Structure 1
Amino acid sequence: MKKIVSLVPLLLLIMLTGLKAQNVDNRNSFAIRYIASNYQWPLEDVSTLNLDEFTAGFEAEYFHTLNNILDLSFPLRVASAQLPQNATGDPTRQALNIGLDALLNLNIYKGKNFRPRLFAGVGGLMENSERLTLDIPLGLGLDFRLAKSTFLSTTAAYHLNNNDFRDHLQAGIGLRIMIGEDPNKVPEVADRDGDGIPDATDLCPDKAGTAALNGCPDRDGDGVADGSDNCPDVPGTLKLMGCPDTDNDGIADKDDKCPNEVGPASNDGCPVTDRDGDGVADVDDLCPDEAGSAATKGCPDRDGDGVPDKDDACPNQPGTPANGGCPDSDNDGLVDRLDACPNLAGPIENKGCPEIAQTDREVLAEAVQAIEFETGSATLRQESYAVLDKVVDILQRYAGYKVRIGGHTDSIGSSSDNLNLSKRRAKACYDYLLSKGINATRMSHEGYGESQPIGDNRYAPGREKNRRVEFDVYIE
C-alpha cells in the first residue's frame, strides 16, 4: 500500500497540469501491447526496482468510448510470471498467468497528440489454469499520436490481488488504433429521398414529402402526414386524424356503425331505436324484439333471478347465475333439478344426498338377523317391531334414499315353499314400513328363498344366518 501511495503525487501533478478536454476523436479503439510484470517489487523497498525480476507477456485491450471524459476498456493479457511463495520472495514458482479486466478510464486531457489517462477496475487472474484470483488494477496510461488513427500506447499499473504475495507491478508499451468513423468529421448535407429537404431536418428522410409536413408524404392530400393519418388513402380532417366523417356527427366513418346516419357516440354513431320499447336501445339490446330490462341487457327474465330466460336452465324458478339460473335449496353445489335430496345438503358424488352415518349402517346390518318371525310363517314377532321402527327412523331421516327389502330362508323344506315363505316375509316387512308412513314409491320387496345362503345349511349356526331379511338402502 505504501508503494501505491507514492504514485499519488505523480497522478495529481498530471491532473493539475492537464488542459481542458477537447472534443477530439471520440472513437472506439483497440490496443496491442508488450507487457512486463514484477511480482517481487511489492516485497522489496519502493526504491528498489530490479529489471531482472520482470517477466514478459502480451496484452490486447478494447476501448469503448462512453463520453469525452470516460472510456470503458477490457484488457486481456497472457504473461509468464515468477510467483513468490513467501514474504521474502524466495523461492519463486514459474507460472503462466491469464487475466481479464474491466477498466474505467478517466481521460485527464484528450488532446490531439497527447492523451494521459487514469484507470481503475476489477478483473480475474488465472494461474496455470489452476486457480482464479480477484485482481484490482490501478494505473496510468500515456498515449502519443504517431499517425491519423494510431497512437503509441504506454501503461503503468499496480495490481492488488486477494491472494497472498500476488500483488504486482505491470508496465506495457504498444499501439492503440482508433476504429470507426470520426464523430467530429463535418458531415455532408444529405437528402436521401431527394425531396429538397436535408435529412437533418427531414422527419421522413427515406420517403419524399413536402416542406409543409417537414418532408413527410401525404398520399391523400388532406394535410395530415401519412405517418399520423389513420386513413392515409382517404381525405379526411385534421380533427379526426385524417379520416372522413360523411354524416358530420363527429365520429370517423371507420368507427361509425351508421356512417350515413347521424347518431351519438354513445350509440356508435347510430340513431337510437328501441323496437320492443323496453328502454334498452336496439344496438345494446340482446333481445331487441322481446321486452326485458337493462339488468339483463334487454332480454326477458320470467323468474326475476337476473339470468335471462334464453340462458336460464330453470326459467320459471329463481336461481343464481352460478347455477345457470337454477335453485339450489340446500346450497350443496348441486341444483335442485339434479339433486336427489334437494332439501338436505350432501356431496355431489352422492347425488346431493347426505352420506348414511356409520351408526345408521350398523343398525341396518343388525336388523338383518334381528327381525324374527313365527316358525314357518310370515307373522312378525312382537320384538321385531322395535327393530323395524329403527329402519323407519333411518328412512325418514334420509328422505332421498330408497330401500330394497329381500327375504331369505335356510334349505330346510322344499325350495318352492322356501321361496314363497321368503317373499311373504319380505312383504310383511314392506307392509309394516308402509303402515309407518314410508311411501311405497321408495320401497320394493322380493324373496330369494334358499338361493343366496351366507352360512352353511348343514349346521344350525349357518341355517340361522341364512334365515334373514336384508334392507338395501340406496340412491337412485
Structure 2
Amino acid sequence: MRTLLLTLTLAFVLSLPIVQAQHDLTKDYIAVRALFPNYQYQIANEWNWDDFSAGFEFEYGRHLSGPLSLAFPFKIGKANYPIDATGNSVTEGGLFNLDALLQLRPFNSNVFISPNIFAGLGANYEDLRRMNFALPLGIGLDFKLGGGVYLSTKGEYRIGFTELRDNIQLGAGLKFFLGGVPDNPAGKDTDKDGIVDTEDQCPTIPGTAKAMGCPDNDDDGIANTKDACPEEAGPASTNGCPDTDNDGIINSKDECPTEAGTAANNGCPDSDNDGVINSKDQCPNEAGPASNNGCPIRDADGDGIVDANDECPNAAGPASTKGCPDRDADGIADKNDACPDVKGTAANRGCPDTDGDGVIDSVDKCPNQPGPASNNGCPEITQKDKETLSFAARNVQFESGSSVLKAGSNAILDQVVDILKRYSDYSVRISGHTDSSGGDDLNLKLSKARAKACNDYLVSKGISASRLTYDGFGETRPVGNNATPQGRTLNRRTEFELYQK
C-alpha cells in the first residue's frame, strides 16, 4: 500500500508542470464531510467496516493557480488506536487532525464529475495529549449538484511518522465554492484555451496567447500552420526553425550549427577559403589542397604531419606525439620519455608504475603492490602482522627431538601463510634455532630440518618456493640464557623474516 501511494505521489508531483487544462473554478471553497478513520487496516491487512470509527471534517480550500489549490482540513472524531502490532489491543481516543494539502484538479472543474488528487503534511493531537505527524496521500471525487455546490467524497492513506499510526480515512459531504460558479461563464471560449473566441485566430483548436490562440508546439510565437519547424523553437526570419549560429542556415541543414559559415560549405566556416572547412583543415589559416588536409605541401620527414604542426619535422613520428618519434607507443615522445622502450604514463615521465604507488617499476621492489617510496615501493608491514610473526617464532612447536610439526602448529603457520599472501611481493627467510641441550652437530642438523619443515608446509599451502629460503643455526644464536629453563624456551624457536629482494 505504501509503495502504491508513494508512486501516486511521484506521479502527482511530475504532473504539476504539464497540466494545461483551463479551469472555471478559480474560487476558494469550504467543505463539510462526515469522517470515517481506520487505524486497524495496517495490522489486519483486510477491509473490515467494524474497524472504522466516526467524526467530522471541516475544510477550507484556497485556489492558487490553474489546477492547483491549497487545502486546510480540520478533523475531529474518535479513533481506535493500536497499542501493539498484534491488533488485539486498542484504545479508544480522540482524533484532532489539522492538515496542509496541495491539491491537483487535472480536468475542468465545471463538469458533472470532477476528480482530484492531493498530498501534504498532517498533524494529529491525539487525546489532546500527544502530537504525531503523518503524510496524507489521497484521491477525491466531486459531483456537481448545481451552481457552486458539489457532493464531495475523498479517501486517503496516511503514512504515520510514528509507529502503529498509519491509517485510512474516508469522507463524504458537501463542498461550496465561495461566490458560486456560473453554469455558463461569461466570454465564450469554444476551445477552452483561455482566449475568448473574438480574440482567438483558431477558436476551435486550443492554442497559446503568444500565437493568438493557435497551436504552437515549440512556443516560439509562430503558429504551427506557419512554422516550418513546429517542434523546434526558432525566429520568424527562418520561418520558425532554429539557427543557433545566426548564419542564415537553419540547424537541420547546417553541418556546423554552432559556428557561423557559408551556404557553399553547408554552414561550416572556411577561414582560408581553400574549400576545406576549418574542422577538417589542419592549416585553417593557410590555403592548401584537401588531399593534404587543407595544408600547403610541406612535410620534410614524410610522416603525414605538415612541418607547421610537426614538433620534430626532421624525425618521423605519429600524430599522437605531434610528429615526434615514440618507440614504445605510449603517447609520450621519446625526447620526453625517461623510459622510451617501455610503455609508461605521463605522470612518471613515460615510465611504468604497475601498482600506481608513484614508484616506477624499475626501482620498485614490490611492483604489484602499492607502497611508499620510503619503503622501496613496498607496503609497510603492519604492527599487527609483525606481532603475528613474532608469536609464530615462539609458538611453532615440533615433536621432541624431531622435525615433525605438532598438530597445534598448523593453525599458527596458516596465519603466516595469510600474511605472505597479502604481502605477495615480499620473500621470507626461515631460521631454525635450538637451545644448548644436546650436541652441537645434532642441534645444527635439527634446526635445519625444522626450518625446512616450516618451508615445506608453506609451499603446501600455495606459497611459491621461489619466495622462501630456510636455514638452521643450532644453538649459535641464543636470545635467552641457556642456563635457565626460561632462557632455553626462548632459544627454541623458528623465525620468519619478511624482506624485499
TM-score computed with the length of structure 2 as normaliser: 0.39
TM-score computed with the length of structure 1 as normaliser: 0.41
Structure exhibiting the larger radius of gyration computed from Cα positions = 1
